[in-house]
Every structure is written in C-alpha cells, then in structure tokens.
Structure 1
Amino acid sequence: MNMAHSAAEFGNTTDSDWRVLSSLTSCWVAFQQWRRRGRLQAELCDLSDRGLMDIGIARGEIEYATSIQGSEPPRGF
C-alpha cells in the first residue's frame, strides 16, 4: 500500500473540511480553558482565607470567580 500523498491532494480542502477543523479547534480551545479554570480553582482553594481576602475573594466565590468568561484572573495570578 502506497502511503505517499502529493501536495495537491492536501491543497484541495473543502468547506466541510474547514468546518471540521474549526470545530476541532473550538473543542481544543474549550478544553484548554476548562483545564486552566480547574488549575486556577485548585490554586485558589489552596490559599488561606486571609490570602483570599487579600485578593478580594471569599472561599464561597471561587467557583463563580473562575467561571466568568473573558475575564482576567484575580489580582496576583
């Protein structure tokens, strides 16, 4: 079986190919954001109550503070 492909074969991408690639890219970005939020939540949970107060977050607000889309992490991170 010949596995060699010409460059022309890869150059002919259709709209459906781009949609699939775009969907996969979106999934990858969402996965990375989910992992980043998880790491941030873990770091915030490791802080003392005093440390959380210093950055203006109560322990009960950690999940909400890390779930806000498009926002910057709390000060100090």
Structure 2
Amino acid sequence: MTTAFNVFESRRNTATGRLGFAVLAHCRAAFVEWRTRETLRAKLAGLSDRELLDFGIGRGEIDYVSSNRASDPRGAVLPP
C-alpha cells in the first residue's frame, strides 16, 4: 500500500514542479516585455519633436506606441 502511495505522491510533486516552472517562465516573459516597453518609451522620449514627426507620431502618442508595438497608430499593421 505504501508503494502505491509513493508513486502517486511523486507524480503530484512532478506536476507541481512543472506548474512552478511555468509560472516562473510566465513571470520572466512578462518582465522582459515590460523592460522592452520601457526601453522603447525612453528612446522615443529622447527624440526631438521633429524626429518623432519623421516617424509619424507625436509626443502624446509615445505611451500608446510603446504599449502597442504590433500596431501602427495610423492604422497599418506592422510585421512582428
């Protein structure tokens, strides 16, 4: 009886371990995405108004552009 219990217990620990790694991987991916967004926001904020207009965005659109990198504020979809 204890052998069967140990087999089930080890499976439960393995599943819990995988879930823990999945949560850590998700947290890491979210952190990397946040850092990428912040880096882009800082680089765009460092540009002059004229340079931003060359890209077709205004200073007030920096937060939107950095948060929604997959879309263009003018309506065109950018490639990934």
* TM-score, normalisation: structure 2: 0.69
Q: Indicate the residue corresponding to 2:17 in structure 1.
A: 17
Unaligned 5+ runs, structure 1 = 1-11
Q: Say which SS state the counterpart of residue 17 (structure 2) adopts.
A: helix
- Looking at secondary structure, tell me which structure has more helix per residue: 2
Larger radius of gyration: 2
| Pairwise CA distance, 1:14 | 1.1
State the percentage of identical aligned residues: 40
Q: Indicate the residue corresponding to 1:50 in structure 2.
A: 50
Matched pairs, number: 62
Unaligned 5+ runs, structure 2 = 1-10, 73-77
Given residue 56 of structure 2, which amino acid in structure 1 is its aligned partner? G
CA–CA distance in 2 between the matches of 1:57 and 1:31?
26
Give the RMSD, CA atoms, in angstroms.
2.3
Given residue 67 of structure 1, which amino acid in structure 2 is its aligned partner? S
